[in-house]
């Protein structure tokens, strides 16, 4: 099956628009496509008429262009007829927004769609889903434009069984400055499933990291997913629900999924170097850091801060995550000391973690980071910045980013996410350097790199 027309449509049709209810899901989708996206969009309703001055087509066969993507938002019982019309019209693919299938026990109706599509080699997303979002290209979500938070274009592709989780993660991605290549809500995943999208996204030149929210698999499907994720040339991140007995029951009623044994699945992910996010916040952190640094590390980190307390806290968190903080030799410490300003040479602690004290300036941080990242035993530098220190300016993020590009060694930063520090944070983010609003988040980013490799 060819998925490209669905993810880069030049023409769209929205089947099920209402002539009287402008809040109908189909109308919301049509209005966004008409006013905000480049594809030519056609409204379809069997009664015909006009909508916002445009002709409403009574069926797909009347549309003068070949349609790349059809959005189906009609009652469940009407979907098979619309799907047959899509196939007959030679459409490129469909998203079936409609619910009322396997999630409510109508397995027969859902299977009818699958059999029709497979016989015609016709791809569709859903049913019971939001569908597809590609920045500046297409948005089939039935959510009003003014309420949807949209991340900028980026490298992360996010595939979610739940539309609600997907939209909530988009808010978090946007808040952390993580860009999306595309987002797909697959709902009941009757035809196109995680494995299909994993194969497609592995070859997608715009995708750098592939993330999944998964409630469950069909019998035997989880093993195949792990094998393909292990072989994927791009980092794969998984957020799995259905960890408890109650969660497994909820997954079954939500998208008719079989949640399986979570402990076994989690252990297999770790064994094969597939990064598991334990919650939705960690999912964002993992995607952010792996977008910047797709190659794994074994876990040896250097920590640079202006606060001894932050250094002590960070070492404890590193230990909890399986990262090591190797102590620097006396010779290495002296080489670092020689790079610092005279007023802090004798008061800075340079064993690792490195505490430059609150008297350090931008120059001290840059020099210490350069020396630390130049050490062979340090695979990643974690910088814990206290922007309220008097010697720190808003230029430091950009200066450290330039150093990171030159040294070609991963660097992650902690900066409190307060609006008055926005310029400092942007200095990192605009240059692709991951920034976390917490110490633990920064260390989890380093840990994601450690976990992103076969054991």
With respect to residue 144, please indicate whether it lies within any of the assigned structural domains.
no
CATH number, domain containing residue 242: 3.40.50.261
pLDDT tens-digit readout, 192-217:
999 999 999 999 999 999 999 999 99
In a shared domain, residues 304 and 182: no
| Domain termination site, one of 253, 271, 292 | 292
The structure tokens 């210490």 sit at 368
pLDDT tens-digit readout, 103-138:
999 999 999 999 999 999 999 999 999 999 999 999
Reference 303, options 279, 328, 337, 321; nearest CA is 328
In a shared domain, residues 286 and 303: no
| Domain termination site, one of 66, 95, 127 | 127
In a shared domain, residues 122 and 175: no
In a shared domain, residues 320 and 436: yes
In a shared domain, residues 267 and 359: no
Q: What are the structure tokens assigned to 322, written together?
A: 């399986």
CATH number, domain containing residue 69: 3.40.50.720
Q: How confident is the model at residue 84 (pLDDT cuts 50, 70, 90)?
A: very high
How far does the chain reach from its first CA to its final CA, in angstroms? Answer: 34
Residue 17 domain boundaries: 1-127
In a shared domain, residues 282 and 338: no
Q: What are the structure tokens assigned to 79, written together?
A: 């979907």
In a shared domain, residues 195 and 302: no
The structure tokens 């590609």 sit at 134
With respect to residue 50, please indicate whether it lies within any of the assigned structural domains.
yes
C-alpha R_g of the chain: 25
With respect to residue 140, please indicate whether it lies within any of the assigned structural domains.
no
With respect to residue 132, please indicate whether it lies within any of the assigned structural domains.
no
With respect to residue 141, please indicate whether it lies within any of the assigned structural domains.
no
pLDDT tens-digit readout, 335-359:
999 999 999 999 999 999 999 999 9
Provide the domain count of the chain: 3
pLDDT tens-digit readout, 184-193:
999 999 999 9
Q: What CA–CA distances, in Å, run from 57 to 25, 34, 46, 52, 225?
A: 18, 15, 7, 13, 41
With respect to residue 340, please indicate whether it lies within any of the assigned structural domains.
yes
In a shared domain, residues 299 and 447: yes
In a shared domain, residues 185 and 218: yes
The vertex-72 CA angle with 67 and 78, nearest 5°, equals 120
In a shared domain, residues 394 and 367: yes
Weakest-pLDDT range from 82-91, 159-168, 254-263: 254-263
Using an 8 Å Cβ cutoff, are 232 and 268 in contact?
no
With respect to residue 209, please indicate whether it lies within any of the assigned structural domains.
yes
Helix axes 362-373, 330-338, angle to 10 degrees: 140
For the segment 301-314, the average pLDDT, to the nearest whole number, is 96
In a shared domain, residues 332 and 413: yes
Q: How far apart are CA 231 and CA 248, in angstroms?
A: 28
* Residue 258 pLDDT greater than 50, yes or no: no
In a shared domain, residues 216 and 304: no
């Amino acid at each position: 099956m060819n998925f490209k027309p669905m993810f880069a449509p030049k023409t769209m049709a929205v089947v099920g628009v209402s002539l009287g209810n402008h809040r109908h899901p189909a109308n919301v989708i049509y209005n966004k496509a008409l006013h905000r996206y480049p594809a030519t969009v056609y409204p379809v309703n069997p009664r015909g008429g006009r909508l916002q001055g445009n002709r409403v087509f009574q069926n797909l066969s009347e549309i003068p262009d070949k349609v790349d993507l059809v959005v189906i938002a009609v009652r469940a019982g009407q979907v098979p007829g619309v799907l047959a019309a899509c196939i007959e019209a030679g459409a490129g693919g469909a998203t079936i927004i409609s619910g009322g299938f396997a999630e409510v026990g109508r397995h027969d109706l859902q299977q009818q769609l699958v059999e029709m599509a497979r016989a015609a080699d016709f791809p569709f997303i859903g049913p019971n889903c939001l569908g597809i979002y590609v920045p500046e290209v297409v948005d089939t979500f039935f959510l009003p434009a003014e309420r949807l938070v949209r991340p900028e274009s980026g490298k992360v592709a996010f595939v979610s069984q739940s539309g609600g989780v997907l939209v909530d993660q988009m808010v978090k991605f946007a808040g952390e400055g993580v860009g999306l290549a595309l987002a797909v809500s697959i709902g009941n995943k009757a035809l196109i499933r995680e494995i299909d999208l994993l194969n497609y996204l592995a070859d997608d030149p715009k995708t750098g990291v592939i993330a999944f929210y998964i409630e469950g698999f069909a019998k035997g499907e989880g093993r195949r997913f792990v094998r393909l994720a292990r072989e994927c040339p791009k980092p794969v991140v998984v957020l799995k629900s259905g960890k408890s007995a109650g969660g497994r029951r909820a997954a079954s009623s939500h998208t008719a999924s079989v949640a399986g044994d979570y402990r076994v699945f989690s252990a297999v992910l770790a064994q094969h170097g597939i990064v598991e996010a334990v919650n939705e916040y960690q999912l964002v952190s993992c995607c952010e850091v792996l977008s910047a640094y797709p190659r794994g590390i074994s876990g040896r980190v250097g920590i640079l801060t202006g606060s001894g307390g932050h250094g002590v806290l960070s070492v404890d968190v590193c230990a909890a995550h399986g990262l090591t903080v190797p102590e620097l030799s006396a010779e290495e410490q002296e080489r670092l000391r020689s790079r610092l300003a005279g007023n802090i040479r004798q008061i800075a602690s340079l064993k690792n973690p490195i505490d430059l004290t609150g008297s350090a300036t931008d120059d001290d941080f840059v020099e210490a980071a350069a020396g630390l990242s130049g050490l062979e035993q340090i695979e990643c530098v974690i910088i814990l910045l206290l922007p309220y220190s008097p010697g720190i300016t808003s230029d430091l993020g950009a200066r450290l980013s330039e150093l990171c590009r030159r040294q070609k060694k991963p660097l992650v930063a902690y900066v409190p996410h307060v609006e008055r520090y926005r310029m400092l944070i942007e200095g990192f983010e605009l240059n692709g350097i991951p920034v976390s609003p917490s110490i633990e988040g920064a260390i989890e980013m380093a840990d994601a790199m450690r976990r992103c490799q076969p054991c």
